[in-house]
């Protein structure tokens, strides 16, 4: 596993994860509204081969449950990124700003260098140091092996 590339992907997709969270919440709310107040009548024997209202309700419940699982996983990923970035900022605010501006806010490294008052050449060295340090904090001991 290339931890630096994985770290870049985590941070670059942060905003997509936030959007996915909102979309999943909307889907769950919609499905809950469609499911609310409806009951499933259990029968001893299935009747016919056509899809009935109960099958549609069961499918909606299944879709809602799957969306809730995906939402929990998405929230965990967002929280992991946020917690690691916040802890990272306590340790080295400059590195955190480089990663946040470059990968999450999609600013150019030249822009970040200008904001930090450092040369473009220096920003590339700092970016690599920041990535390595963040990867260790995000993935732990696996990165060092």
pLDDT of residue 52: 65
pLDDT of residue 131: 92
Is the distance from CB of 17 to CB of 78 less than 8 angstroms? Answer: yes
Distance CA 55, CA 43 (A): 12
Which has the higher per-residue pLDDT, 44 or 83? 83
39-59: per-residue pLDDT in tens? 655 554 455 555 566 788 889
Distance CA 14, CA 107 (A): 14
At residue 83's C-alpha, the angle toward residues 80 and 85, to 5°, is 105
**Buried-exposed string 22-43: b where 16+ CB fall within 10 A, e elsewhere:** eebeebbeebeeeeeeeeeeee
pLDDT of residue 127: 94
Distance CA 49, CA 129 (A): 62
Distances (CA, A) of 48 to 4, 45, 51, 60: 56, 10, 8, 21
Q: Residue 136: which pLDDT band, with cuts at 50, 70 and 90?
A: confident
Average pLDDT, the chain: 88
Q: What is the mean pLDDT of residues 90-106?
A: 93
Give the global pTM. 0.77
Please check the confidence at residue 122 and state whether its pLDDT lies above 60: yes
Please check the confidence at residue 24 and state whether its pLDDT lies above 90: yes
């Amino acid at each position: 596993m290339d931890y630096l590339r994985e770290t870049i992907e985590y941070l670059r997709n942060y905003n997509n994860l936030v959007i996915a969270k909102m979309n999943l919440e909307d889907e769950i709310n919609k499905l809950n509204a469609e499911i609310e107040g409806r009951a499933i009548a259990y029968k001893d024997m299935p009747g016919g081969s056509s899809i009935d209202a109960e099958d549609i309700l069961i499918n909606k419940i299944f879709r809602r449950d799957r969306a809730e699982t995906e939402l929990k996983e998405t929230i965990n990923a967002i929280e992991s990124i946020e917690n690691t970035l916040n802890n990272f900022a306590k340790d080295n605010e400059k590195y955190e700003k480089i990663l946040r501006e470059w990968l999450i806010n999609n600013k150019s490294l030249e822009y970040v260098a200008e904001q930090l008052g450092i040369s473009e050449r220096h920003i590339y060295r700092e970016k690599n140091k920041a990535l390595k340090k963040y990867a260790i904090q995000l993935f732990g001991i696996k990165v060092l092996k």
